[in-house]
Chains A and B, each alone.
Chain A
Amino acid sequence: MTIQKYAVPRSIEEATQLLAAENITMFAGGTDLMPQTKSGARKFKTVLMNLNRVHDLRGISLSKSEVRIGTLTTVTDILHHYALRTAAGILPEVANAFASGQIRNAATLGGNVCNASPAGDMIIPLLLLDAEVELTSWKNSAISTRRIALHEFFIGPGKTRLGANELLTFIHFRIPEEGFVARFEKFGTRPALDISIVSVGIAGTREHGGLRNARVAFGAVAPIPMRGHAVEHAIDEGSLTAERIKDISRLAEQEITPIDDIRATAWYRKEITRTYTERMLHDICAARN
């Protein structure tokens, strides 16, 4: 027997207690777990835990300064959330390019983050927003939480700093300031149903002729969804002239470390990264918001 027991917690407390006590495989939408266990890439542990009845973990709440998204919030929830469009429009925009309608209805933000694919679509905009993950566990008979900046959360393909007994409960980010602008491009021949070959996210706050506090993130071109620090510094350095944009996009090409696989070669991924970075920076300059 592989799976021997089934658990359905109804609260965060119950969920973390179970995680502390048992050998658990947990599921929410199942959109990554089901194919992975079927193929044998992942093995079930002795207890299967269904997280979907912990209703406290689903939902988007906004305060004056912060957004908090529960781990069970689906990609469709994000796509349709009205207030999020004004507060951090890049998130619903990326949700619109995610997989398919059926998968958006089931896939959760927490699942996408914890699956930690280097191509994880929803991770890129969260990196642009300087998101933090809240990790909760049951320690010494009490709930214990800690936060990690998302850009420090990933350590390798499919690997994060999530502890064995920890549950990712919420994702937090500060509502971006006035003048914040963000763009996301995912390479593909389809509007959504494409596994990322390359994805590029660029954000920052408008300043005369350019951006300050630039945030740049790349997907599917490194072992983890990565921040492009060199590109960020280059953007911050001055206004975005056509010549500087060309140089910055070449820097992007050099900063990433893509591999060859059946979807694309490293050469092609570099070409697309450079081209998209250039186009997106031009687009930011030309647009008003």
Chain B
Amino acid sequence: MTSVQHEINFTLNGKPVTVSVALHWNALTLLREGLGLTGTKYGCGEGECGACTILVDGVSVNSCLMFAVDCDGREITTIEGIATEAGLNMLQGEFVKQWAVQCGFCSPGMIMQGMYLIKNNPRISKDEIKRGIEGNLCRCTGYSKIIDAIAETLHDEEVRS
């Protein structure tokens, strides 16, 4: 498949970006190939595994299902954009602390979805977290420590504030 290119402008991890994309591209291809940001992963290309999860205007979506051109004018956040100046953000830190990372391939998608869940519902329960990551597949961990990591982050944020 080939298609015409189109130039788009958007905010990527807080910085403005101008890039030319093929019209049939999905946002995942734009990120990985167009912009060399390989943190967001290809897991299935069909929206079934969540490895490609990014935030668009703060809302989590599967970047493999989103048209690249639709990034125009939006605020896109990827895994590369969430660490703080000091280092890992709280959720990333908990993923490390809780052993929520084994092979790590699902981790960027899990973390982005975790960021969305926490922002959306700071009181989210463990059962709601399980539902919240139902669209993120993991073959290594059995999910338990990932759920703990997200739950602990809420606790950290509570303790902080």
Contacts and interface: CB of A to CB of B under 8 A. Distances in A.
Q: Is there any pair of Cβ atoms, one from A and one from B, under 8 angstroms apart in the complex?
A: yes
Interface of A: 1-6, 8, 27, 29-31, 34-35, 37-38, 44, 48, 50, 52, 76, 99-103, 105-106, 190-193
Contacts of B67: 27, 30, 34, 48, 50
Contacts of B97: none
Nearest to B62: A102
Most buried by B among A6, A99, A192, A193: A6
A78 to B, nearest CB: 14
A50 B66 CA distance: 11
Given A101-B117, A102-B113, A190-B134, 5 more contacts: A44-B3, A44-B24, A48-B24, A52-B70, A99-B135
A35 B3 contact: no
A30 B59 CA distance: 15
Given A27-B67, A34-B26, A35-B65, A192 B131 contact: yes
B39 interface: no
Interface of B: 1-4, 6, 23-24, 26, 45-48, 50, 53, 59-62, 64-67, 69-70, 72, 113, 116-117, 131-136
A102 B56 CA distance: 11
Contact of B69 (A35, A37, A50, A106): A50
Contact of B1 (A2, A50, A190): A2
A164 B50 CA distance: 34
B4 A103 contact: no
Contact of A5 (B4, B53, B59, B134): B4
A8 B9 CA distance: 14
11 contacts: A2-B2, A2-B3, A6-B4, A6-B6, A29-B65, A34-B67, A100-B50, A102-B61, A102-B135, A105-B61, A106-B66
Contacts of A105: 59-61
B62 A106 contact: yes
A32 to B, nearest CB: 9
A137 to B, nearest CB: 24
A193 B23 contact: no
Given A101-B113, A103-B47, A192 B134 contact: yes
A48 B136 CA distance: 30
Given A101-B132, A192-B131, A48 B69 contact: yes
A56 B28 CA distance: 28
Given A30-B70, A106-B66, A3 B4 contact: yes
A245 to B, nearest CB: 31
Contacts of B47: 31, 34-35, 99-100, 102-103
B134 A100 contact: yes
A193 B48 CA distance: 8
